[in-house]
Amino acid sequence: MRQRIANTTTVPKPKFSVIIPTYQRLECLRDCLTGISANLAAKSDFEVIVVDDHSDDDPSVVINSFKPEFNVNLLYQEKNQGPAAARNRGAGHARGDYLLFIDDDCIPCPEWLDTIGEHLNGSDSLAIGGNCLNELNKRVFSEAQQMMMDYLYAYYNSDPTNAQFCPTNNLAIPRKGFLQMGGFDTSFRKAAGEDRDFSARWLRTGADMRFITDAPVYHQHAMGLKEFFRMHYWYGRGARRFHHLEAEKVDKKGLEPIGFYTGLIFFPFSQTTPMRAATISLLQLLSQVAHTFGYLREMPLTR
């Protein structure tokens, strides 16, 4: 059985605990940790907890190479349980005042930790969501995914000081408040919907959520047609589960108004050249087909 790798050196209690769920992406994980190492914050300000979700290849070699640079630990999940469970496991071992969640295929900007710390300003009731930017600008599927995220940021966070949705690939939250809420809902087995559910539950506690753009992370997730379709299929399943849970709690209707979907399809034309926008708009339409398939597939499981 794999054993947890732990630092034996006693270190002061950090301000931040950076938590990274990982699965089958060793090179992406290496790039993520390299980006964290390049942050301008003092190394004593943060710890890093990587939670491996039962990958085929043990990431300990990657983790060990960064131990001389900063405090980093590796935890294992004994079976593939999904990123929500992995993040909860990391949070349970965290010592920092704030939890910072980032995905293993994202690279933080050098000012990431310092800037988020400035926005938090010692608050124990404020969650900070940062934006995620596409690192693979010449790949059309990655570009289409970025435009979708830009649209969602604009739609749900039109007032950044009163944000309604913050993805988990760049999210900071007080550890105490996170644990009191019970963390992420582990019924979301894929990276799809657990962030919307968490955002809604956090806001219902009366706490605040803010969306910022000056502490981005850079997404390096290459994908083709099959992976793009599969990802949005799972988004659809996550959306159905989220709507089901919301209806139980607040009697909230499920789907967004029709203007949301038409806006999504036409959004690329305000962002890029007409020819490129037409291609991306077709991919947005395809994403909604996949989303619908996933939504319908999940319905029998959430009645």
CATH of residue 10's domain is: 3.90.550.10
Residue recorded with tokens 């294992």: 76
Token readout for 239 is 């959306």
- Are residues 117 and 243 located together in one domain of the fold? no
Q: How far is CA 189 from the centre of its chain?
A: 14
Asked whether the beta carbons of 280 and 264 are under 8 A apart, the reply is no
Cβ contacts of residue 154 below 8 Å, gap of 6+?
none
Last residue of a domain, one of 188, 220, 252: 220
- Are residues 123 and 169 located together in one domain of the fold? yes
> pLDDT band at residue 13, thresholds of 50, 70 and 90?
confident
CA angle 158, 160, 163 (to 5 degrees): 85
Q: What is the CA radius of gyration of the chain?
A: 19
Once rounded to an integer, what is the mean pLDDT over residues 17-31?
96
Last residue of a domain, one of 220, 236, 270: 220
> pLDDT band at residue 11, thresholds of 50, 70 and 90?
low
- Are residues 62 and 172 located together in one domain of the fold? yes
- Are residues 192 and 274 located together in one domain of the fold? no
Asked whether the beta carbons of 142 and 278 are under 8 A apart, the reply is no
- Are residues 42 and 91 located together in one domain of the fold? yes
Q: Per-residue pLDDT tens for 116-126?
A: 999 999 999 99
Q: Give the number of domains in the chain.
A: 2
Give CA–CA dist 283/18, Å, rounded: 33
- Are residues 170 and 96 located together in one domain of the fold? yes
Asked whether the beta carbons of 86 and 150 are under 8 A apart, the reply is no
Last residue of a domain, one of 191, 220, 249: 220
- Are residues 251 and 121 located together in one domain of the fold? no
- Are residues 271 and 206 located together in one domain of the fold? no
Q: What is the pLDDT of residue 212?
A: 98
From residue 93, alpha-carbon distances to 152, 179, 201 in Å are 32, 11, 22
161, 155, 169: which is closest to 212 by C-alpha? 161
- Are residues 210 and 232 located together in one domain of the fold? no
Once rounded to an integer, what is the mean pLDDT over residues 75-91?
94
Of 208 and 7, more confident: 208
Give CA–CA dist 90/55, Å, rounded: 16
- Are residues 243 and 130 located together in one domain of the fold? no
Give CA–CA dist 22/236, Å, rounded: 22
Does pLDDT of 254 surpass 70? no
- Are residues 174 and 268 located together in one domain of the fold? no
- Are residues 271 and 298 located together in one domain of the fold? yes
Q: What is the pLDDT of residue 1?
A: 46
Domain that holds residue 290: 224-303
Q: Per-residue pLDDT tens for 92-115?
A: 999 999 999 999 999 999 999 999
Task: Check residue 44 and report its DSSP letter.
Answer: G
> pLDDT band at residue 8, thresholds of 50, 70 and 90?
very low
In terms of DSSP bridges, do strands 46-52 and 16-22 run parallel, antiparallel, or are they unpaired?
parallel
Q: What is the pLDDT of residue 248?
A: 81
Helix 194-204 to helix 225-250 angle, to the nearest 10 degrees?
30
Average pLDDT, the chain: 92
